[in-house]
């Protein structure tokens, strides 16, 4: 598929990098961009050589939200009755391999929500996060009211969603929204380092780890702990578990074969 609103490349043959590419609109997310993003994610997920994915934007904006100009004309019947806006935002949730958000500049509205749909966020020191939808007479529509409280706690989530204020990278790291903050010119180096590290591990263990953390994030504690236990047990059926433990005991580097 030829892409117009994203750029796609691989790093070291193992990491799929997707760059949102509507710089004039600060990467505002419209249907075409979300279709292209979904297609690129699915294609990397199906590519056996790829172990991890990265979504990034420009220095100025990861994404400044859903495309307001495109949404402005819609009414309730269009967005609820039709499939405008909402039809293609959930693809990322079906991706099995880890997806890291590399955020510099604005991550606002749907841009903040897209970053939160990734498995974790590494931010540049110029990053700014926010859910300013309240200023447009709407609320977040792609999980912001659900994922922000889980990431930040209720008080900060309410503050962000009700006032529409922005949070800088330092506050986002303090609050647990992002896992690491680095200088802008070190962002991709840091993110690719994390991605390549993940690529080193057994893909089966990586899938199980991601599914288990998501189970905790999306469900209740008892259910999550039970799910984790069963995935833990299941990994003892893999060759990679034998290899990993044998390598440790014998003080050598493990050679995982995704079996």
Contacts with ligand CO8 by CB under 6 A lie at 25-26, 28, 64-69, 85-86, 89, 106, 108-110, 132-133, 136, 141-142
Closest residue to bound ligand CO8 by CB: 109
Residue 66 annotated to the active site: yes
Closest to ligand CO8 by CB, 133 or 173: 133
Q: Cβ 204 to ligand CO8, closest distance in Å?
A: 32
Q: Is 74 helix (H, G, I), strand (E, B) or coil?
A: coil
Closest to ligand CO8 by CB, 43 or 145: 145
Q: Cβ 79 to ligand CO8, closest distance in Å?
A: 9
Q: Cβ 22 to ligand CO8, closest distance in Å?
A: 9
CA–CA distance, 45 with 32 (Å, rounded to integer): 20
Contacts from 6-13 at CB under 8 Å and sequence distance 24+?
6/33, 6/36, 6/37, 6/40, 8/40, 10/49, 10/50, 11/192, 11/195, 11/196, 12/192, 12/196, 12/199, 13/49
- The catalytically annotated residue of 61, 64, 66, 195 is 66
- The catalytically annotated residue of 40, 107, 113, 173 is 113
Q: Cβ 135 to ligand CO8, closest distance in Å?
A: 6
Residue 153 annotated to the active site: no
CA–CA distance, 7 with 10 (Å, rounded to integer): 10
Closest to ligand CO8 by CB, 86 or 214: 86
Closest to ligand CO8 by CB, 118 or 192: 118
- The catalytically annotated residue of 65, 110, 111, 143 is 110
Question: Using an 8 Å Cβ cutoff, are 167 and 130 in contact?
Answer: yes
Q: Cβ 91 to ligand CO8, closest distance in Å?
A: 11
C-alpha to C-alpha distances, 259 to 198, 202, 208, 242, nearest whole angstrom = 16, 8, 13, 10
Question: 58-89 burial string, b = 16+ CB within 10 Å, else e?
Answer: beebbbbbbbeebbeeeeeeeeeeeeebeebb
- The catalytically annotated residue of 28, 64, 133, 190 is 133
Rg of the chain, C-alpha, whole Å: 19
Q: Which amino acids are annotated catalytic?
A: 66, 110, 113, 133
């Amino acid at each position: 598929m030829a892409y117009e609103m994203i750029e796609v490349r691989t790093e070291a043959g193992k990491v799929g990098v997707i760059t949102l590419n509507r710089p004039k609109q600060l990467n505002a997310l419209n249907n075409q961009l979300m279709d292209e993003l979904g297609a690129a994610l699915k294609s990397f997920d199906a590519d056996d050589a790829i172990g991890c994915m990265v979504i990034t934007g420009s220095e100025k904006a990861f994404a400044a939200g859903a495309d307001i100009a495109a949404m402005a004309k819609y009414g309730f019947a269009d967005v609820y009755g039709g499939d405008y806006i909402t039809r293609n935002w959930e693809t990322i949730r079906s991706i099995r391999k880890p997806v890291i958000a590399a955020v510099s500049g604005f991550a606002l509205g749907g841009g903040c929500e897209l970053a939160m749909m990734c498995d974790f966020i590494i931010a540049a020191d110029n990053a700014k996060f926010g859910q300013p939808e309240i200023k447009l007479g709407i609320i977040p529509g792609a999980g912001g009211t659900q994922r922000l409280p889980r990431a930040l706690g209720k008080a900060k989530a309410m503050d962000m969603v009700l006032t529409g204020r922005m949070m800088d990278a330092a506050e986002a790291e303090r609050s647990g929204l992002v896992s690491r903050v680095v200088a802008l010119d070190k962002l991709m180096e840091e993110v690719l380092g994390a991605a390549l590290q993940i690529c080193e591990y057994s893909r089966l263990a990586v899938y199980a780890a991601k599914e288990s953390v998501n189970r905790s994030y999306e469900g209740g504690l008892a259910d999550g702990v039970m799910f984790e236990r069963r995935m833990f047990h299941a990994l003892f059926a893999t060759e990679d578990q034998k290899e990993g433990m044998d390598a440790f005991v014998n003080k050598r580097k493990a050679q995982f074969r995704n079996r």
